[in-house]
């Protein structure tokens, strides 16, 4: 097989014909003023990627029966699921020719996609976040193969292996604890830094920018983690392009430390952590307007590593300019919190970094309660700030009591009503 010219995909590779992803931008008149499903917006972009690469077919989407569930249903406006078996009257989007490959076997889908890439085409694997682990060993071998073929002169670069992980740990609705595991990121970053990339765009415009970049890339494994439920949108497309190009940055519009040293850095990585961080910041700015807060958002997870460890990593000087050398950092993270500690263990301010993330607490419950169970909600994040700023004195003590009361109120409300409090469901950014 290795000597078969049909499997030296880099020699056969043709660039994708790509639409302008800016044409699919969500209009964001001000931060948080618009709501959208990030993956639904991305699905419209993918629909037209498929349309532009049908003759000859050069792009397919692979996944285990979740294309509609993951809100990518717009692709079925231009293609069907490839299907050669019998059909029933109630079947949807099945045809002998289609650009969507679906089968309830992650192994099969991964194998299809790897073969497609090895023969010079392009693809995307979409999956529930918790179940992509089923292909851990297959990802391992593909990443190792990519690493080794960089050292073989007659092997040319192939299209990247792109994963879109959604239906995430924080928004599982009726599925619950079995569908909650954000640990694929931990697994991926064990591989060579020349091969792996991990992105957690905070909104739809950022996801469009990241996806366009990943689909154009070569010889990487790209992991994109994004939400599918309607959520606040933070950045205009112009702002999203700049933010994603940098991979990490201060959100000045959310910060209150202009022209001064911050008292605390509030960092976030992922869509729900970003939402909860901004909600915590709004509480702190309302009750403690004198507090100087810096908000840092991370899109490219591996920016947290040193540049000597990963080509995307920040130098110590750049890292310290964002996170400071000695101020408390409250970091809300999409995945397991120790991953952030692992990536930042040798930074100057590591001892002041407190990370909140998923810690194996979950059930079938409300969206906000998932964050409360894992202590990554706005109230816990705000209390984390208060605990690390004893100079706030009585003001801090009274606000902490208010936040504790809110957690009790939340528990009572969802037990009585089965949904989150109106102030949670209807919250908007206003600072």
Per-residue pLDDT averaged across 199-218, rounded?
98
Helix (H, G, I), strand (E, B) or coil at 302: helix
| CATH at 304 | 3.40.50.920
| Confidence band for 224, pLDDT divided at 50, 70 and 90 | very high
Q: Do 267 and 362 fall within a single domain?
A: yes
One domain, residues 121 and 161: yes
**Residues whose CB falls within 8 Å of the CB of residue 398, separated by 6 or more in sequence, listed in order:** none
Helices 204-216, 38-52: inter-axial angle, 10-degree rounding: 30
Is 194 in the same domain as 224?
yes
127 lies in some domain:
yes
The answer to whether residue 223 sits within a structural domain is: yes
**What is the pLDDT at residue 239?**
98
Closest among 245, 227, 289 to 263, alpha carbons compared: 289
Alpha carbons 335 and 369: distance in angstroms, whole number = 16
| Helices and strands: H and E segment counts in the chain | 14, 15
CATH number, domain of 166, equals 3.40.50.970
Report the C-alpha gap between 400 and 390 in whole angstroms: 12
What is the residue-averaged pLDDT of the chain? 96
φ/ψ (deg, to 5) at 357: -165, -160
* Same domain for 106 and 49: yes
Among 95, 175, 150, 159, residue whose Cα is nearest residue 123: 159
pLDDT in tens, 9-47: 888 999 999 999 999 999 999 999 999 999 999 999 999
pLDDT given for residue 176 in this prediction: 92
Residue 10 in domain:
no
**389 confidence band (pLDDT: 50, 70, 90):** very high
Please report whether residue 23 resides in a domain.
no
Contact yes or no for 165/129 (Cβ under 8 A): yes
pLDDT at 244 exceeding the cut of 70: yes
Task: Output the pLDDT for position 431.
Answer: 67
Whether 221 is covered by a domain: the verdict is yes
pLDDT at 8 exceeding the cut of 90: no
Boundary of a domain, candidates 169, 198, 231? 231
98-110: average pLDDT? 96
Q: Is residue 16 domain-resident?
A: no
Mean pLDDT of 170-199: 95
Report helix, strand and coil shares of the chain as percent, to nearest 5: 45, 15, 40
Same domain, 75 and 136: yes
The answer on 61 and 160 residing in a single domain is yes
**Domain end position, chosen among 201, 231, 261:** 231
Determine what percent of the chain is predicted with pLDDT higher than 90.
Answer: 93
- Per the CB < 8 A criterion, the answer to whether 124 and 165 are in contact is no
The reply to whether 270 and 400 lie within a common domain is yes
What domain range includes position 375?
247-425
Same domain assignment for residues 170 and 57: yes
- 257 shares a domain with 221: no
User: Quick one: 334 and 406 in the same domain?
Assistant: yes
pLDDT, mean of residues 307-327? 97
């Amino acid at each position: 097989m290795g000597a078969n010219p049909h499997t030296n995909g880099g020699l056969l590779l043709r660039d994708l014909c790509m639409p302008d992803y800016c044409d699919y931008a969500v209009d964001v008149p001000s931060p948080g003023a618009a709501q959208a499903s990030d993956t639904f917006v991305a699905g419209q972009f993918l629909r037209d990627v498929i349309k532009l690469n049908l003759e000859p077919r050069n792009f397919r989407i692979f996944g285990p029966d979740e294309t509609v569930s993951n809100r990518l249903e717009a692709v079925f406006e231009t293609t069907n699921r490839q299907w050669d078996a019998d059909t029933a009257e109630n079947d949807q989007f099945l045809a002998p020719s289609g650009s969507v490959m679906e089968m309830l076997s992650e192994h099969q889908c991964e194998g299809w996609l790897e073969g497609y890439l090895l023969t010079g085409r392009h693809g995307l694997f979409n999956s529930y976040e918790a179940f992509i682990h089923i292909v851990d060993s297959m990802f391992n071998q593909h990443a190792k193969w990519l690493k080794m073929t960089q050292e073989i002169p007659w092997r040319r670069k192939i299209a990247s292996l792109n994963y879109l992980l959604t239906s995430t740990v924080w928004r599982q609705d009726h599925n619950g604890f079995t569908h909650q595991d954000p640990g694929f990121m931990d697994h991926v970053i064990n591989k060579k830094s020349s091969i792996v990339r991990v992105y957690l765009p905070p909104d739809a415009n950022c996801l469009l920018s990241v996806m366009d970049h990943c689909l154009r890339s070569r010889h990487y494994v790209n992991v994109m983690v994004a939400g599918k439920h309607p959520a606040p949108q933070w950045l205009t497309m112009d702002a999203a392009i700049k933010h994603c190009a940098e991979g990490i940055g201060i959100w000045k519009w959310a910060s209150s430390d202009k022209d001064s040293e911050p008292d605390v850095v509030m960092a976030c990585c992922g869509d729900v952590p970003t939402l909860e961080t901004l909600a915590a910041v709004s509480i702190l700015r309302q009750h403690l307007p004198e507090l100087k807060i810096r908000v840092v958002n991370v899109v490219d997870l591996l920016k947290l590593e040193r540049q000597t460890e990963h080509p995307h990593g920040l130098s110590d000087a750049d890292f310290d300019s964002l996170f400071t050398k000695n101020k408390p950092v409250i970091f809300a993270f999409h995945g397991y919190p120790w991953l952030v500690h692992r990536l930042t263990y040798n930074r100057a301010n590591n001892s002041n970094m407190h990370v909140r993330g998923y810690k194996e607490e979950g059930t079938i419950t409300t969206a906000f309660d998932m964050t409360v169970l894992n202590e990554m909600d706005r109230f816990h994040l705000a209390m984390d700030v208060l605990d690390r700023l004893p100079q706030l004195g009585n003001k801090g003590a009274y606000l902490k009591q208010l936040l504790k009361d809110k957690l009790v109120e939340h528990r009572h409300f969802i037990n009585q009503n089965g949904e989150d409090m109106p102030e949670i469901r209807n919250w908007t950014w206003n600072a």
